[in-house]
Amino acid sequence: MCEANAYIYEDGKELLYLESVDIMRPEEGKIYLRSLFGEQKVFEGEIKEISLLNHKIVLKKK
């Protein structure tokens, strides 16, 4: 499988936020994420970068 993990970029570090992200979509200025296991999170911030090769999503606070 090729799931991506989501990280929050904070103080120069990437902290794991959600593993095995299945769905990611913008919703009213926030980012909605859902994992393959049904875990849901809403992040108030923006996308810093997405690395498809490394299966990594990096988010940052506004």
For residue 23, the model assigns a pLDDT of: 97
Q: What is the mean pLDDT of each run of 10 residues along the chain (62 residues)?
A: 91 98 94 98 97 97 90
Degrees to nearest 5, angle at CA 58 with 54 and 16: 90
For residue 54, the model assigns a pLDDT of: 96
Q: How far is CA 60 from CA 2, 12, 37, in A?
A: 23, 11, 23
- Cα distance between residue 42 and residue 59, in whole Å: 11
For residue 3, the model assigns a pLDDT of: 87
For residue 2, the model assigns a pLDDT of: 74
Site of tokens 């990437």: 14
N-term to C-term CA, the chain: 31
For residue 1, the model assigns a pLDDT of: 62
Output the pTM of the full model: 0.91
